[in-house]
A = this chain, B = another copy of it.
Amino acid sequence: MKFWLNLISGAFFTPALWAAPAPLNQELAYRLVESLTVEVGPRIAGSEADRRAVQWAVTNLRQLGYDKVWTEEFEMPGWTRGQAKLDVVSPFAQPFVLTSLGGSVGTPVDGITAAVVMFDSIEALEKADSAAVKGKIVFINKPMTKDKSGSFYGQVVAARSRGAVEAAKLGAVAIVIRSVGTSNNRFAHTGTMKYDETITKIPAVAISVPDAQNLAKMLKLSPKVELKLQMDNQLQKASSHNVIAEITGTEKPDEIVLISGHLDSWDQGTGALDDGAGVALAMATGALIKQKATPKRTIRVVLYGNEEGGLLGARAYAAKHHNELAKHVLAAESDFGAGPIWQIESRFGDKALPFAKELQQKLAHLNIALGGNTTYGGPDVSVLAQAGVPVVALSQDGTDYFDYHHTPNDTLDKIDPDSLKQNLQAWLIMTETVANSSVNLRH
């Protein structure tokens, strides 16, 4: 009990029943993500479940043999999802499957009822005349295409992140977007959205792809489709934690090889793909390397808090460890599901490019090719990359990732254990190689 009180400033944790430690073998990453999703489940940043996830991570990292395990608290805006309901009022009364976007305000208790105006994209909305939008609910109906690297996400996600601001500028009373996802399954994809403090804050939700198709068909049949939205989210101050663990290097303990994932998840699924898999891979990698032999450099596992709310844990880490960043030899993150790794990308200094090739050659038997030298390494470590830390990305095949991402359907059964084993092998090779070398990867 004392342990918890000491470790996590200001927080008090009830000891939970956690499963027995997972054995240190090639199943380890799967066992860890299984444990996290079963024993903790969804863990939105700032929630009681998030605190249990931190407790779970600390306990497991200690059991896995890490030399040091600690947490770093940071303040953040908290957001709690309430009930949400979206109905077609007329002419074709029926309910839609929706989800609030993360951070959205709620509606008045009686809801908001208004006619819909549809746009194909946020760019089309931005060009619209306010007379066409004022007093209406904006609907952005932009589909997303699948590919291995998820490259279409960036084109579609703007409607989610800044749609509410653009719609409100033109006088809209709410915004409904087609889910930023690639599946026709009737799930709505959540994800963070932002307000501009100078623009009226309007509620923002996503509807599932079948509902978006349905609404578009309604708008073809009828000049006026009225929707009613009721939603009661809560905003409050909160805090979360980064969880950090180290295998202390034998020869150069101050040189840090940082491997990471993010511990928080959206509240709809159990956060298996996003990012239980990444958390499990980072945790397993350090433990299995230590089991074999403690490396020369320090391996630091960082499990970021609140990635989903906008990389808040990553920013807190970068701020707190500012003076130490020059000693970060490399940073890497797994946060794109659990598909097979097919490519290694880097962001190294030119002189270190042969080392990227060397890494790839060690990974070639896992069917991993050499990619370019322009990666930012993943959402959280992009903050470190911007601060000059060299990064590597072990790029997963994400063809199906956006079928599940940010929906209730992100559950353990969507992870292929064999694929996760391949991931773990690649992480072990990459991390061990860097941690036992004296290479300088900087510009």
Residues in chain B near residue A16, CB distance under 8 A: 91
CA A213 to CA B414, docked complex, whole Å: 12
Cross-interface CB contact of A411 among B34, B210, B222, B408, cutoff 8 Å:
B210
CA A37 to CA B40, docked complex, whole Å: 38
* CB-CB under 8 A for A40 and B412, given A34-B217, A269-B186: no
B186 contacts A222, C-beta separation under 8 Å: no
Interface segment, A92-100, A133-141, A432-440? Answer: A92-100
CA A38 to CA B88, docked complex, whole Å: 11
Q: Is residue A17 contacting chain B, with contact meaning CB distance below 8 A? A: yes
Residues in chain B near residue A213, CB distance under 8 A: 412-413
**A408-442 Cβ-contact flags toward B at 8 Å (1 or 0):** 11011110000000000000000000000000000
Q: Is residue A203 contacting chain B, with contact meaning CB distance below 8 A? A: no
Q: Is residue A234 contacting chain B, with contact meaning CB distance below 8 A? A: no
A92 contacts B210, C-beta separation under 8 Å: no
Residues in A20-64 with C-beta less than 8 Å from chain B: 34, 37-42, 48-49, 52
Q: Is residue A9 contacting chain B, with contact meaning CB distance below 8 A? A: no
CA A49 to CA B16, docked complex, whole Å: 47
Residues in chain B near residue A408, CB distance under 8 A: 97, 186
A413 contacts B210, C-beta separation under 8 Å: yes
CA A93 to CA B42, docked complex, whole Å: 9
A185 contacts B93, C-beta separation under 8 Å: no
Residues in chain B near residue A49, CB distance under 8 A: 93-94
Q: Is residue A370 contacting chain B, with contact meaning CB distance below 8 A? A: no
**Number of residues on chain A facing chain B (CB within 8 A):** 41
* CB-CB under 8 A for A38 and B184, given A17-B91, A91-B16, A210-B412: no
CA A438 to CA B414, docked complex, whole Å: 56
Residues in chain B near residue A411, CB distance under 8 A: 184, 186, 210, 214
* CB-CB under 8 A for A92 and B186, given A221-B19, A412-B210, A412-B214: no
Q: Is residue A218 contacting chain B, with contact meaning CB distance below 8 A? A: yes
Question: Nearest chain B CB to A34's CB is how many angstroms away?
Answer: 7
**A249-270 Cβ-contact flags toward B at 8 Å (1 or 0):** 0000000000000000000011
CA A66 to CA B93, docked complex, whole Å: 27
B217 contacts A38, C-beta separation under 8 Å: yes
A92 contacts B38, C-beta separation under 8 Å: yes
Residues in A316-333 with C-beta less than 8 Å from chain B: none
Residues in chain B near residue A413, CB distance under 8 A: 184, 209-210, 213
B94 contacts A270, C-beta separation under 8 Å: yes
CA A48 to CA B90, docked complex, whole Å: 14
Residues in chain B near residue A187, CB distance under 8 A: 185-186
A-B CB contact pairs (8 Å), 11 listed: A17-B91, A17-B221, A37-B214, A39-B92, A40-B94, A41-B94, A42-B94, A97-B408, A185-B409, A186-B409, A210-B270
Residues of A within 8 A of B (CB): 16-17, 19, 34, 37-42, 48-49, 52, 88, 91-95, 97, 184-187, 209-210, 213-214, 217-218, 221-222, 269-270, 407-409, 411-414
